[in-house]
A and B are shown apart, each in its own frame.
Chain A
Amino acid sequence: MRYIEPHAHMVSRTTEDYERMALAGCEAVCEPAFWAGYDRCSADGFHDYFSQLTRHEPRRAARFGLKHFCWLGLNSKEAEDLSLAEEVLALLPEFLGQPNVLGIGEIGLNKNSRNELRVLEMQVDFAARHHQLILVHTPHLEDKWKGTRLILDVLKNDRRLRPERILIDHVEEHTVGMVLDSGMWAGMTLYPETKCTSARAIDMLETYGREKLWMNSACDWGVSDPLAVPRAALEMRKRGHPPGAIERVLFDNPKRFLRQSGKFTL
């Protein structure tokens, strides 16, 4: 079985994880810019990070025949400081032309604060002006429902954006409906404790249809599983989904969305 890992934070993973993913049938890994587990001291830290995502990680992945793509932006956990946000945004044009940059992400909200919302609007405006795809992080746990609503309001109010070029990630049963109703894509994250299990992700596929849904592991520096997507494929087989349907969700869907960037090729 072949699959695409559309959301993995490989800078936090070992080289052996790349090998295991390749052995499991992974053909491409997409890495959104995110929070490192601590706040960076200055925009210089982001410059180094964006260099790592655009230059170093593609080489590490290529050792195992894996294509590596990335998304750039300021994550919502570090978006409370507006002046830092402006400095980080000013870095983006330098990296946007790199061949593995798919768009702006993961941007979004964390605690649903006014400054987070302002930074989201700034980054959405940047994406619209530069005709970029958008990958959106939705908040964790108790903040997800409210944050998803606020995010959708921002995106729907910008007439320059086309919903089919936006993916809202980390949906769960209380947010997936509102995202798909908006015409945007939805990502289901297979992550222990805070997000979604394979069984629940497949429940959502069976309930909402597989047209605009994908699954990802979002594996990072936390307790997480870089093989969560192939494990979900196994769960789909147990539930009687035919191989063709599994490949449509785990390979064709991410490919269909990401190809809109003009850079995603396998």
Chain B
Amino acid sequence: MTRQQLLDLYFLDARHRLIELAAFLDRLERAQGPADYRLKSFRAALVGLAGSKKNKTKTTLLAFSDVSTRPVTTAATQWATGAPPPKVPLPRRRARRLRK
């Protein structure tokens, strides 16, 4: 499909989702109290969306990923939260290499 055709097909939906995202950030700004580690990951992922670099989906998913490589000792929970908790090391050099 051409860029124009993709805009015709997806622009309104993407615009809608972007405004929802902006509203979510506004809501967080208005709210009181501390935020957990997920907000930091969220802001880091947002930075990756700006600019003309390719593979933005992969970059965003990696911003929300545990990029360590060793198994954890035990599964303390059965659930995922969507962002790596702070105890998980995020080696910056490795993460940078992965995003390329």
A interface vs B, CB < 8 Å? 77, 80, 110-117, 139-146, 149-150, 172-174, 194, 199-200, 203, 238-240
* Majority SS at the chain B contact face: loop
Question: Is A114 touching B67 in the complex (CB atoms < 8 A)?
Answer: no
> Are A110's CB and B75's CB within 8 A?
yes
When A and B form their complex, what is the total count of cross-chain residue pairs whose Cβ atoms lie within 8 Å? 83
The reply to whether A142 and B71 contact each other, CB–CB distance below 8 Å, is no
Question: Is B1 within 8 A of A240, CB to CB?
Answer: yes
A173/B82 in contact, CB under 8 A: no
Interface string of B3-26 (1 = CB under 8 A from A): 001000110000000000000000
CB distance from B57 to the nearest CB of A (A): 4
**Interface 0/1 of B78-93, CB less than 8 Å to A:** 1011111000100000
Residues in B neighbouring A240, C-beta threshold 8 A: 1, 5
In the complex, what's the smallest C-beta–C-beta distance from A25 to chain B, in angstroms? 23
- Sample (25) of A-B pairs whose CB atoms are under 8 Å apart: A80-B74, A80-B75, A110-B75, A112-B75, A113-B71, A113-B75, A114-B71, A114-B73, A115-B74, A116-B71, A141-B83, A142-B65, A142-B84, A143-B65, A146-B67, A149-B69, A173-B55, A173-B57, A174-B57, A174-B58, A174-B65, A199-B10, A238-B9, A239-B1, A240-B5
Q: Give bound CA distance, A209 to B9, whole Å.
A: 22
CA gap between A174 and B45 in the complex, in Å: 14
Q: Tell me whether A141 and B69 are in contact (CB under 8 A).
A: no
Q: Can you list, as one digit per residue, whether each of B54-67 has a CB less than 8 Å from chain A (1) or not (0)?
A: 01011001101111
Residues of B within 8 A of A200 (CB): 57
Q: What are the nearest 7 A-B pairs in CB distance?
A: A111-B75, A141-B80, A113-B75, A140-B80, A174-B61, A145-B65, A173-B57
Cβ–Cβ < 8 Å partners of B73 in chain A = 113-114
- Write the nearest CB–CB distance from B17 to chain A, whole angstroms: 11
**Chain B residue with minimal CB distance to A109?**
B71
Q: Please, which residues of chain B bring their CB within 8 A of the CB of A174?
A: 57-58, 61-62, 65
* Contact indicator A144/B76 (Cβ below 8 Å): no
B49 to chain A, nearest CB (A): 14
User: B15-56: which have CB < 8 Å to A?
Assistant: 55
Contacts A144-B65, A174-B65 given; 20 further ones with Cβ under 8 A?
Answer: A111-B76, A112-B71, A113-B72, A113-B73, A114-B73, A141-B64, A141-B81, A142-B66, A142-B82, A142-B84, A143-B65, A145-B62, A145-B66, A145-B67, A146-B67, A172-B57, A173-B57, A173-B58, A174-B57, A174-B62
Q: How far apart are the CA atoms of A240 and B1 in the complex, in Å?
A: 7
Residues of B within 8 A of A238 (CB): 9
- Once A80-B75, A110-B78, A111-B78 are accepted as A-B contacts, the answer to whether A143 and B66 lie under 8 Å apart by CB is yes
Least Cβ distance of A143 to chain B in Å? 6
**Residue from B62, B66, B74 in contact with A113 in the complex, judged by beta carbons closer than 8 Å:** B74
Contact partners of B61 in chain A: CB under 8 A: 144-145, 172-174
Q: Write out the residue numbers on chain A whose beta carbons fall within 8 Å of the beta carbon of B69.
A: 146, 149-150
Q: In the complex, what residues of B have CB within 8 A of residue A140's CB?
A: 80
